Amino acid sequence: MPIYAPIQSTIEKAAALLAEGDLVAFPTETVYGLGADATNDRAVALVFKAKARPQFNPLIVHVPSVAAAEALAELDDRARRLTQRFWPGPLSIVVKRRTDCPVSHLATAGLETIALRSPDHHVAQALLRALGRPIAAPSANVSGRLSPTTAEHVAKDLGRHVKAILDGGPCRIGLESSVVACLPEGAWLLRPGAISAESIAEVVGPLRPAPAADVARAPGMLQSHYAPALPLRLEAGRANANEALLAFGGQVPNGFATVRNLSPEGNLTEAAAHLFAYLHELDRPEFSAIAVMPIPERDLGIAINDRLRRAAQGTTSTGI
Ligand code: AMP
Ligand code: MG
């Protein structure tokens, strides 16, 4: 995996790799990002695979400008004021996805909301403009390890997973962006970071306390996890009346009202790429439940099963 000095030709090369669905690490003012074309489900699945995260957390989607953010999400007055004050810069805003938002549902972990940020770094900006699409990018480290602030950190941790690293030298801030939800229910801090809660409150007024997880599931509130409205039946074999089937692998049982197959070849990266889109498609009132075939508990199957178990609990109890 080459480490490139960021000049026009290497930035264009990196953008071409992203456009093909490969992963590229790039510098921002906060930490190095593990970037994927945010509109490509499979590329986003590779991000989770590379980080070896046991869960699908929603990723921050990077955009070059406020105009690019407005094309993906609905920004209210407060969100606009925040972008005017802090963008480009280390503030991510969580806002509602537009219905026609082309960003992968895996990148937003099935949620109706999306975290957006415009990085204050000339290499990140040049990469975004060369690609012409949003870039989903969590910190470029294996889950549980320190966030990388140099290209060497990235190479050591994730070198074999990325097709290129753009070396912008050490990150100026070296601390993650602050994440603030900006939704009809109010504004609240989801993650403290480079911009203080006080300076955010100066722009949007007092921040509300984060809603408790159970409150967050009330209609319209920010859900911390996506759960379908239909009951989920895991480890399903035979069909019950009127069930939809979320299948996996080549041997699909008969008798279901409809079937979506996460991966007929039994490929877990492909299955992760399809998970949220297919759950959304099957979650329709004409079915009695969504039955889910067993998914192997390895690689991305661990995160897939984690999310399915949470979703199955969410429909039968108050847990999330
Ligand atoms: P990282 O992946 O390390 O950059 O962290 C991303 C942070 O943004 C996590 O704290 C996520 O929970 C948060 N985040 C990203 N997207 C969303 C979203 N749609 N809704 C709520 N939080 C989000
Ligand atoms: Mg991180």
- pLDDT at 314 (0 to 100): 67
Task: Give the chain's mean pLDDT.
Answer: 93
User: pLDDT tens-digit profile of 154-194?
Assistant: 999 999 999 999 999 999 999 999 999 999 989 999 999 99
| Ligand 1 atom closest to residue 60's alpha carbon, by position in its atom list | 15
Question: To test ligand 1's pocket by mutation, which of 26, 29, 57 has the most ligand atoms within 8 angstroms of CB?
Answer: 57
Q: What is the DSSP string of 12-59?
A: HHHHHHHHTT--EEE--SSS-EEEEETT-HHHHHHHHHHHT-SS-PPP
Tens digit of pLDDT for each residue in 296-312?
999 999 999 999 998 88
Distance from Cα 252 to the centre of ligand 1, integer Å: 35
Pocket perturbation via mutation, ligand 1, pick of 26, 53, 60, 117 by most ligand atoms within 8 A of CB: 60
Atom of ligand 1 nearest to the CA of 111: 19
Given the CA of residue 179, which atom of ligand 1 is nearest to it? Answer: 8
CA distance 137 to 128: 12
The residue whose CB lies within 8 Å of the most ligand 1 atoms, and thus the one to mutate among 44, 59, 307, is 59
Q: CB–CB of 20/124 below 8 Å?
A: no
Nearest to 246 by CA among 199, 210, 294: 294
Residues in contact with ligand 1 by the CB-under-6-Å rule are: 57-60, 94, 108, 111, 113-115, 138-139, 179, 190-191
Question: Which residues face 181 on adjacent strands?
Answer: 94, 188
CA atoms of 102 and 133, how far apart (whole Å) = 10
Cβ neighbours of 54 (radius 10 Å): 13
Tens digits of residue pLDDT in 238-275: 999 999 999 999 999 999 999 999 999 999 999 999 99
- What are 72-126's pLDDT values in tens digits? 999 999 999 999 999 999 999 999 999 999 999 999 999 999 999 999 999 999 9
β-pair partners for 93: 116, 180
Q: At what angle do helices 300-314 and 268-282 cross, to 10 degrees?
A: 20
From the list 133, 125, 145, 114, the residue with the least C-alpha distance to 50 is 145
Instruction: Dig out the tokens for 309 from the structure.
Output: 């178990």
- Chain position carrying tokens 């690293």: 165
User: With contact defined as beta carbons under 8 Å apart, do 47 and 138 qualify?
Assistant: yes
Residue 317, burial from CB neighbour count under 10 angstroms (0-12, 13-18, 19+)? exposed
Between the two ends of the chain, the Cα-to-Cα distance in Å is 40
